[in-house]
Structure 1
């Protein structure tokens, strides 16, 4: 019993320390930056249009640090994709808004191999930290992807947080009549886009820099 009391005393002290650190580092309120306009997509002709609602981008965000057991891994995702796939030119463009990302849908957590389900409060806290403190979604609301197909690989230019980086992404592309399916998975680092992964307790509980992305794009003529 004494060990349990000591354990919870330590956790309570850590929580109080985190609040104190947060209070010390809080900056005076500033006027929010003007949001960036929606990135323009090319006017593609005779292309497959990405079907919003039937397509998916899912990102697994994992915890790290000595106190990782106190946190949760998360899955953020969106089905609200806009864009096209031009198979004749071997090109694709798509965009989506960060503020339309969902957090920890139970089915997507299972698909990512996460067996537990965070509480509603934990999910709400994750959403607030992710959108405001990490992604700064108010100032950088859009993600834009422009890619060219090179064999079985996409040379993808991804723009996030005002920064563009290129990745080589393996893709499984299948076409059946007027319908097209593109699937793949790859890893990016938040720091590639000038984003500092969220952390507390001096990094003892943190989010890993690496993000695991998977996509399933549905497009039709």
Structure 2
């Protein structure tokens, strides 16, 4: 009977605050043990825990800029990890948009993702269905956010408010940062008026 191919699993753990991390057995250890036990229970499926730990203590899940997560993803990109195992999805990220980015990156290299307490496994058909639903909501969230931003910018422009960026020649942002207005830059305005006069003179039949 042929053996199942080995699935190399790596555990990622995270805790938002650093409270209690100095204890002999902390939240990161508890997450790791739960994930390791789950991997052991799937040994018959060929799952194997790879050595090394990827722990981000005292770091928010609202950003992907985390040292251990970066190392983890580098190993994934290098083809040394087949499965990312976490205690809960929010240990990996709290952002649907970031989650979508991570999943896309995992799919490119054929890596799966498992949440041991939420029965979420992208290596199964049901897990992929759940994933597609989540990603659909992430796409919806991005589109709604973009629409809100566009509507707000359009409404602000109608009111004559400056929406940031590089001000046009002849104007400066208002010294009071709370006021979204432009004020005339006298020196630049003089140059603009001079150029306009020259342009009008050159285009006039009398100036030819």
**What range describes the TM-score normalised by the shorter chain of this pair?**
under 0.3
Greater fraction strand: 1
Greater fraction helix: 2
By relative contact order (CA 8 Å, sep 6+), the higher-ranking structure is 1
> TM-score when scaled to structure 1?
0.22
* Larger Cα-atom Rg: 2
> TM-score when scaled to structure 2?
0.23
